[in-house]
Each structure stands twice: as C-alpha cells, then as structure tokens.
Amino acid sequence: MRAAPTARRAVAAVAAALALTLVISGCAPEQSVDVQLQPQAEAALPDAMVEQLQGAVTNAMASSGASGAIVGVWAPWSGSWVAGLGTQSPAEGAAEVTADMQFRAGRITRPMICDVLYAAVAQGKVKLDDPVSDWVASVPVLTDVTLEQLCDSTSGIGSYAPRLTRLWVDNPERKWSARELASYGLGEPRTTKPGAAYRDSDAGYVLLGLALERALGAPAAQLIDEYVVGPLDLGQTQLGGFSSDQVLEGIVVPGAGGGKRNCLEPIEVTDISPSTGYTDSGVVTDIDDLGRYAQALATGALQPDVDDRFADAVPPRRGAPSWHTVAGGAVQAGSLIGQFGAVPGYTTAAFSDPKSGLTVAVVLNDSVAGAAIGGYLAWELAAIASKAPAASGETAPEAGLPWTAEQYHDEITRRAVCAPPA
C-alpha cells in the first residue's frame, strides 16, 4: 500500500521490511492489529493496466459530473496504483487533485459503527439481540428492533437523507442533532418486519450510534477513534470535520432540464456540516486509510473471534444477483467485502478480497449520479486489477469475479447525468 505522510510512512516501511503480514500499528502497542494478508509487492502495476484503470475512473467522472477523483488499487501479487485525477472543480485554473487529500467517507462509516457494536458485545456491554429501546429511551416503539438489525439494516426503519439533502445544500452550516435526524427516518412508514429484509436506513445507523454512546458512556467520535481508528493507525480518519488543509472539494451539479444536469457550473458543498451524517456517514478519511480499513473489514482484523458477522447476509433488493448481499454494515460482492455510497459532494467505495488481498478504494467529488456509481466503479476496477500479472517471484490468484469490467463500464456510461456541452 502507498506510504502515507509523516509517521505513517515509517509504519508502512516497517511493514514492508517484515514481509510477513501487513502490520497496522495502533496508538499504543497493546492496541496493534495485524491484518493477515499476502505481502504487497513493492512495484507499480503495469502501465497498460494503469491506463485501463485510469480510463475507468475518467469515464465515471464524466458520467457523474465529477471534476476530480482519488483512487487506490492494491494487488499484492503484482503492484499498486494510487493517484489523484482531475481538478477541484471544472472552473478554468482549478487546482489539481492530489492523492493525499481528505474527503468524506460516506457509508463506509456504517461498518465502522458496527465494528464498535461487535467490540461492545465482546466486552459484555451489550448483546446483539438487545432491543433498541433498552438503550435509546426516546424510541419506546422500537421494542421489536434489535441492535444487530440496525447494523444489518434489516430493521425496516426508513431514511432521512431523501427529505433533508436539499436543506443541507441550502443551509450548509446548520448543525443537526442525531435524534432529529433519526426522527425523520422513524417518521417514514415501516415497510418490512424487523429482520425480514434489507431496507437502506441511514436513521438505523444513527440510532445504533446513539445506543452505543449510552452503552459505552462516550461520544460516538471517541468510540470510533478508540475501537477503529486507533487500532488500525488510521491517521487521517475521524468522525467529524476535516483535520487537514488538503481537502478534496465536494460539488453537486444543478439540473439542466431533460433529466440531465449542468456539470460545468457546480455548487460547492465541501463545508456541509458533518453532523448531517453522524454514525451513518459522518467519517472523513483519505485514500490510504480507506484502503487499509477495507482490508481490515474484509479480514475481520478488529474482531478475529467473530465468524458470523456476515453469515446471515440478505440480498439488497429483489432481483439482485446471488453474489451481491449485505450484512454487518457491509456489502459482499463476489469475494469482495466493503461498502459504497454517496453523501452531498462525494461518492465513495472501498472493497477488499480477504484471500487474495485485492483492494480497491475510490472517491468521486460529486454525488448527483447516486450511490450505485461508486460501487459499480469499484467493481470495474477490481475486475481489471484481478487480471494483473504476477510480479517476479509471485503467483497470481486463480479465483476470478462473477462480472466483467466491461459490464460495469457500460452501466456507468448508461447512467450518465451530464448534459452535452453547448
């Protein structure tokens, strides 16, 4: 994996020298977590493959209205590619995007708060089948919904983002309380019985954060730092606002009629309050941390004794392919485990294969094309990189993916939202 700035560069160098496992050091020795993966080949991916990967990203940028992107691809048996593409906005003279910029992680926050849940279960602080109402006193109607169902997004509770996104863009500085956000989702009709089926629910992950705050006696930002960020040494990751001067600007593009959008005159939304996401989508990160976290999630590094987090996975929608399921705050796509989604200004995705170590992470600096674009792009990148040739002395994995790069390249192009230039 690409070395990160300052202290993390030294950590990465030590890990490479050991050449046994990818060692991720926490903020104290006793918190260190080993991610058991094949050693990463210290080489760049072949030029021809990088050209393919770059073509996939630039196609997604053009289709979604993004002016910039940051991407990381790590194939342990072959090499890696980490890059910033494009500019901060489509305006003439806009600054170039660099690979060390922070951005909003969006739904990758979801498996992180689930990591906290499973740690709390291991400590005996909560049980997976605890009713939400045991821990969040203001929701007595949720006696039939468990903490595990909040993490799996099978609670049947609705979402708040569709009703509030316009307000966030119009009034970016307003701070939102977690309970207020959750109330909008709770106000939506319950369409399924708890545990019966997947229903995307940002409100559910907000309620999970509130429950864990109560159970563990600490703010959600502290919990994610203690149970996720610290053990994995994610130096550019936190729940809340940006901590770096190097930030990828987030944009949204206004409508241009005919179902298309004017992608040449976007609205910057970088400074929308992080309170809008809380424990559903409020984390910020950088590409190196995002790839590292995807590997930890896929391998179960934070909960090595938990082997059933993804055991009862369900399809995300009717008609989904059999290889696409959800559980434990994460998405399973073939052999990959990760998450994807969109928040105002950013579309993100990160996936890793726990056996081969193949890892992809990407962010586009626009969100109007919808969450699916991020997942499709990650899967296209993974399909390309899965065919990376073995470096000298290495062996390429035999297993493939149940889709082709062309399949998702075409799907991304089909979903293009930008109006042709005048």
pLDDT in tens, 221-239: 999 999 999 999 999 999 9
Residue 4 predicted with pLDDT over 50: no
In a domain, 232, yes or no: yes
The pLDDT tens digits for 348-382 are 999 999 999 999 999 999 999 999 999 999 999 99
Residue 422 predicted with pLDDT over 90: no
Which residue range(s) make up the domain with 384?
7-414
pTM: 0.91
Contact yes or no for 228/117 (Cβ under 8 A): no
Q: Which of 290, 292, 272 is nearest to 343 (CA)?
A: 272
DSSP letter at 226 equals I
In a domain, 230, yes or no: yes
DSSP string, 373-417: HHHHHHHHHHHHHTTPPPPTT--------SS-HHHHHHHHHHT--
Contact yes or no for 79/388 (Cβ under 8 A): yes
CA distances from 343 to 43, 184, 194, 239 (A): 34, 17, 26, 14
How far apart CA 74 and CA 41 sit, in angstroms, is 9
Residue 3 predicted with pLDDT over 60: no
What CATH number corresponds to the domain at position 68? 3.40.710.10
3-state secondary structure of 300: coil
- State mean pLDDT over 141-158: 95
How far apart CA 335 and CA 354 sit, in angstroms, is 8
Q: Which residue has the tokens 């984390």?
A: 283
In a domain, 11, yes or no: yes
In a domain, 421, yes or no: no
The pLDDT tens digits for 272-320 are 999 999 999 999 999 999 999 999 999 999 999 898 999 889 999 999 9
In a domain, 347, yes or no: yes
Q: How many domains does the chain have?
A: 1
pLDDT at 398: 86
- State mean pLDDT over 61-67: 96
Model confidence at 420, pLDDT cuts 50, 70, 90, reads low
In a domain, 312, yes or no: yes
CA 319, 322, 327, 332: dihedral to nearest 10 degrees? -120
In a domain, 252, yes or no: yes
Residue 172 predicted with pLDDT over 70: yes
DSSP letter at 228 equals I
In a domain, 121, yes or no: yes
